[in-house]
Amino acid sequence: MSSNDSIGKILKVAFALCIVCSVIVSTAAVVLKPAQEANKSLDRKRNILQAAGMLEPGVSVDEQFKVIEERYVDLRSGQFTDDVPEGYEQRAASKDPALSRDVATDEDIAKVGRQANIAQVYLVRGDDGGYDKIILPVHGYGLWSTLYGFLALESDANTVAGLGFYEHGETPGLGGEVDNPRWKGLWPGKKVYRDGDVELRLLKGSVDPTSANAEWQVDGLAGATLTSRGVSNLITFWMGEDGFAPFLTNLRNGDA
Ligand SMILES: Cc1cc2nc3c(=O)[nH]c(=O)nc-3n(C[C@H](O)[C@H](O)[C@H](O)COP(=O)(O)O)c2cc1C
């Protein structure tokens, strides 16, 4: 047996290889981290613009995002607040008992579990000083996963400008059709509230355009009744009294 085949030597080479590989992997993770963070931030901005129907292909997302004002809303009072910790992230806050509340099972129709006290909202100011677009983060459980997205409203804080999800684990072709541009195209122009109550929901099947209720209805996803129900539920929750309803009322009254 040559000395290169000795057990000691094989172990030494294997150990050295492990060290080299782990150094390469950890260096790559550290070096790529800022690029990953930048991509995540760009993706969030793209989704916000897309939900508001403002995303223009071929134009820098960062450039387009300059018209968007990022603000914080205390969901308990329905008022804007600046009293947020540095680098505040609503999703992370919803897991922190100091920054969130436990949602009681009987009111938790969207199955959020915990709800952050402060929400990050996005606004586009109009020429008259009011808001042309109000873009609100929403999330809730579908069939297999929590769907995270944005619901954008027009200046009346009632008419839908658009809806889009940036993260979910529903089945492609079934619940995953929430990402289908044709389905997303059904949302603009729909209304959330009727006489103060959240009325907007998905139907099982198609909306009858001649129905008096058509403005508050969107086609359900074919073969995905459970995901569709999840989307209806998350809208009912986030647009309701435990969600953004107090804030939207204040905003309409110029009191936020
Ligand atoms: C592999 C598999 C994946 C499914 N994925 C979904 C899904 O993502 N969303 C959903 O609502 N239903 C999904 N379903 C169907 C549900 O189990 C259920 O049958 C359906 O929601 C009922 O909808 P329908 O009444 O429109 O047929 C899936 C079923 C199978 C077998």
Residues 177 and 201 in one domain: yes
Q: Is residue 56 part of a domain?
A: no
Choose the residue to mutate in 146, 170, 171 for probing ligand 1, maximizing ligand atoms within 8 Å of C-beta: 171
CA of 174 to the centre of ligand 1 (A): 7
Q: Which residue has the tokens 């929400």?
A: 119
Rounded CA separation 191/182 (Å): 18
Q: What is the bridge-based pairing of β-strands 68-74 and 118-125?
A: antiparallel
Residues 46 and 77 in one domain: no
In the DSSP assignment, the letter for residue 98 is: T
Residue whose Cα lies nearest atom 25 of ligand 1: it is 225
- Locate the ligand 1 atom nearest the alpha carbon of residue 176 and give its number: 8
Residue whose Cα lies nearest atom 11 of ligand 1: it is 224
Q: Is residue 59 part of a domain?
A: no
Q: Is residue 60 part of a domain?
A: no
Residues 23 and 112 in one domain: no
Residues 138 and 233 in one domain: yes
Structure tokens at 83: 């009293």
Residues 74 and 45 in one domain: no
Q: What percent of the chain has pLDDT over 90?
A: 88
The residue type of 73 is V
Residues 24 and 151 in one domain: no
CA of 173 to the centre of ligand 1 (A): 10
CA of 128 to the centre of ligand 1 (A): 46
Q: Which residue has the tokens 């289908």?
A: 180
Structure tokens at 27: 């260096």
pLDDT by position in tens, the chain (length 256): 556 778 888 899 999 999 999 999 999 999 999 898 889 889 999 999 999 999 999 999 999 999 999 999 999 999 999 999 999 999 999 999 999 999 999 999 999 999 999 999 999 999 888 899 999 999 999 999 999 999 999 999 999 999 999 999 999 999 999 999 999 999 999 999 999 999 999 999 999 999 999 999 999 999 999 999 999 999 999 999 999 999 999 999 988 8
Q: Is residue 57 part of a domain?
A: no
- Locate the ligand 1 atom nearest the alpha carbon of residue 227 and give its number: 11
Q: Is residue 247 part of a domain?
A: yes
- Element (H or E) spanning 8, and its range? helix 7-51
The residues facing 199 across adjacent strands are none
Domain containing 46 equals: 3-51
Residues 195 and 85 in one domain: yes
Q: How many domains does one find in the chain?
A: 2
Structure tokens at 176: 């995953």
* CA-based nearest residue to 162, from 171, 149, 173, 153: 153
Residues 42 and 91 in one domain: no
CB count within 10 Å of CB 174 equals 17
Q: Is residue 233 part of a domain?
A: yes
Residue whose Cα lies nearest atom 12 of ligand 1: it is 224
| Pocket residues: Cβ below 6 A from ligand 1 | 143-144, 170-171, 174-175, 223-227
b/e burial code for range 193-219 (CB count within 10 A of at least 16 → b): beeeebbbbbbeeebeeeeeeebbbbe
Residues 45 and 76 in one domain: no
Residue whose Cα lies nearest atom 4 of ligand 1: it is 171
pTM for the whole thing?
0.88
CA of 200 to the centre of ligand 1 (A): 22
* Cα Rg, the chain, nearest whole Å: 23
